[in-house]
Chains A and B, each alone.
Chain A
């Protein structure tokens, strides 16, 4: 069982942007703004007109498929998926905590695999199926109704305190259970190893994960 993200797809990205054409757009952007790093600038062919299918350097309108809905959003080439979700689409369940892929607070599930959305460009998510914590409950979860089993188990086992890491942990738990319906405690710990909780709720999260997979919680006193 693993929750590592899959290797980057070969060839063209779902958005239709190749690695090379993408870097070229960065180069164009760099050449026209004061932000240019010398290395970036060299990637642009001097004087070349940008091809019609190139994205950037300014904002462009794309459609992201989030929680089953097509959602138009305006993004820049460097906009991360997390920024597009939070600032662009108002889906603030995914949290920006470290903004460099080390805490799991922004975890989302893309085409069935767990990703940290702060480490993915929004353009790379075009055409993919993005699931955020907002899309997990069947309904609005009001009064506890319609919650996904892992969400219900989180509430029951008090697997949250301040709640800021919670959406990320909920998504990570779902990913663990999707890959392995009856994980052992050790497998759960390993599957959640990319998530940090500062209040210290991990052991209750393990219990929630066990409960949601129909297993007995840890017998702790």
Chain B
């Protein structure tokens, strides 16, 4: 039996992330809102407890399918502090379906009223399992059948993934501060302007009389792209009605049930390949479990990372009694990458070829081929032993996966204000959902002006700022950096014009470097001296980006995993993940690394732990909390090495989504490598490993 090579983090290089040094516009800057966040001063929308506010909560169906038989509206109304009890719906088609709402003077009165309402439900049979409603799998067409018959091997398998809820730590909601003739909406949203646009009717005010603020957002991951969302709309309606601030935030259970998820998937493959691993093609039929929604269950396979030959493709969305999906960080991609990567490893084993060699051979991107070579080196791929050859209790496995994400165009505007006192205010309506957008905007503006970041103040998440896209599809920084750079350049040109006029020289002779105005590269005056001449109004530089042109380009990446499986307990210990990721020009090293690390961790959690469990009899979610809905925690953390692919000539490209795509596939491949059996169902729990080994 080949010995399982020892793993020791102490064998690794000594400097912290030296490979990423010099890879970005700004290597050293720490997140601009870091201090506000570590001191608890950052005010999230959910932190807005306003004087005289009313509190709003939903009445919800507790079963997968049920009819409201009775409720005690009078008792709820009679609870001290209750203002309004509305029960409008009669039917619930999923656990968490909304049938009414309660408005109260305090959160406590709200809770009491919801209990006093004592809804009685007539339960109906609920359909809870995607498998029960999938229908017949597609049969190969004559052409596909003929092609498969000519292949040396055919892999016939079904890969499945379960529902992952976004579980944003700040739940969905809004606090609408309505003062009668004007309002401020504090919304936990990924789209400041979408939130504003969605409130027109509910808030009962012209747009000039209200604004949306989301300075800090406690996570979203795609689930908060619906702008004001149902919570914001109801809060606005209530606030408008009572002319008082209205506060509506979901609780943790509601967040699991009714704010979207990554839908479950089933991927059936019948793939033909030759002795050397060349894939000829075949049939791929996928299903997405969309609950009560009509769509959104797509599985993006083939991912396009590999040449898979001629594919006969079919997809069906499957409805049943559960909350529907929403976009979740790279929608449809992790499910697809998991199936595709494990499929490739199964093909590699059958063909007797190395999985990295096979991926290089089939890859559609030259960058990824280079990344595969570098990553194999870094993870120590040479220590990998043949799949199925280990017999010890602890078995070590190596796995790999690829990712790719397009740059999606979207228009944006930005403003850079230079004040007379030398301070700089940059304004964008985009929001920072944890990505580092605030910091990146500051860096881009400071770079365009030629001033230190320390004098730049960044204003974001405000619907009176220049418009910018919602944070979805990894569009935010790629599409706001160009307008911010243009605004900085415009402001700089205006300042230099002023300096040139006063110093009787030409603006073209002037530059700004580290807060000095240079003429012919010789110091002329300081930034402060130049700004002191501004007046009476501040200089306002404006930039716009049409979202077209020099924008294209994919962000590519590969991830390698080194893990151990305890074959007695079935527990997987991921020791190390090497994540190589391109994103064009990197603006801020630290926040870019964090995006990659976060993507890996969410992928790991998806692979090993997360599962929305519905009770088969009642259709109720049995784990709508954070102790039974397991999310990866500190103890399960591997060493994660984020490596930024150097591409300094490029534009800023996408980064938020691609790093979470390949992790689950790479982990599944590594487990397969360790134990010799492919586990085709996520999450890969100890039970599944022990069953496979039994």
Contact = CB atoms under 8 A, between A and B. Distances in A.
Interface in A200-221: 200-207, 217-221
Nearest to B594: A158
A192 B600 contact: no
Interface in A126-153: 132-134, 136-137, 140-144, 147, 151
Contacts of B44: 92, 95, 164
A200 B597 contact: yes
A143 B605 CA distance: 35
Given A141-B41, A170-B38, A199 B219 contact: yes
Contact of A98 (B14, B37, B625): B625
Contacts of B16: 207, 217-220
Interface in B623-639: 625-627, 631-635, 637, 639
B149 interface: no
Residue of A33, A96, A199 contacting most chain B CB atoms (<10 Å): A199
Interface in B121-136: none
A195 B633 contact: yes
B143 interface: no
Contact of B13 (A151, A160, A221): A221
Contacts of B601: 200, 202-203
Interface in A172-200: 188-190, 192-193, 195-200
Given A162-B219, A164-B44, A198-B167, A97 B38 contact: no
Size category, B interface: 35 or more
Interface stretch (B28-36, B269-277, B278-286, B362-370): B28-36
B637 to A, nearest CB: 5
Nearest to A151: B38
A156 B38 CA distance: 11
B634 A189 contact: yes
Contacts of B627: 98, 100, 102
B49 A87 contact: yes
B231 to A, nearest CB: 16
Q: Which of B19, B38, B75, B605 has the most CB of A within 10 A?
A: B38
A134 B597 contact: no
A154 B601 CA distance: 18
A69 to B, nearest CB: 15
B252 A196 contact: no
Interface in B1-42: 9, 12-20, 30-31, 33-42
A212 to B, nearest CB: 11
Contact of A34 (B31, B116, B169): B116
A201 B600 CA distance: 10
A133 B49 CA distance: 18
B39 A134 contact: yes
A79 B634 contact: no
A136 to B, nearest CB: 7
Contacts of B75: 34
Contacts of B600: 200
Of B37, B42, B108, chain A has the most CB atoms within 10 Å of the CB of B37
B107 A196 contact: no
B249 to A, nearest CB: 9
A179 B30 CA distance: 28
B9 A219 contact: yes
Main secondary structure of the interface of A (DSSP, over half): loop
B244 to A, nearest CB: 16
Contact of B108 (A76, A200, A205): A76
A155 interface: yes
A141 B639 CA distance: 31
B598 interface: yes
Nearest to B28: A156
User: Which of B15, B47, B632 has the largest count of A CB atoms less than 10 A from its CB?
Assistant: B47
A196 B631 contact: yes
Contacts of B19: 221
B434 interface: yes
B616 to A, nearest CB: 25
A18 interface: no
A100 B49 contact: no
Interface-centre pick from A90, A105, A163 (highest chain B CB count, 10 A): A163
Interface string B211-222: 000001111010
A200 B436 CA distance: 14
Interface string B657-675: 0000000000000000000
Contact of B78 (A34, A133, A147, A201): A34
B107 A83 contact: yes
Contacts of B226: none
Contacts of A217: 16
Nearest to B220: A162
A221 B12 contact: yes
B361 to A, nearest CB: 27
Nearest to B11: A219
A140 B634 contact: no
Given A91-B40, A154-B34, A219 B170 contact: no
A151 B169 contact: no
B662 to A, nearest CB: 15
Contacts of A124: none
Contacts of B167: 198
Nearest to B55: A87
A200 B597 CA distance: 7
A164 B634 contact: no
A193 B635 contact: yes
B626 A98 contact: yes
A2 to B, nearest CB: 14
A220 B251 CA distance: 37
B488 interface: no
Contacts of A25: none
A144 B42 contact: no
A166 interface: yes
11 contacts: A98-B626, A100-B252, A133-B39, A144-B35, A151-B35, A155-B38, A158-B30, A192-B633, A198-B221, A203-B640, A221-B13
Instruction: Please provide the 3 A-B residue pairs with the shortest distance between their CB atoms, ordered closest to farther.
Output: A93-B40, A200-B601, A162-B434
Given A35-B116, A204-B597, 17 more contacts: A76-B108, A92-B40, A92-B49, A95-B44, A137-B39, A140-B41, A154-B34, A155-B35, A158-B594, A162-B217, A163-B38, A167-B38, A167-B40, A198-B167, A204-B594, A218-B9, A221-B20
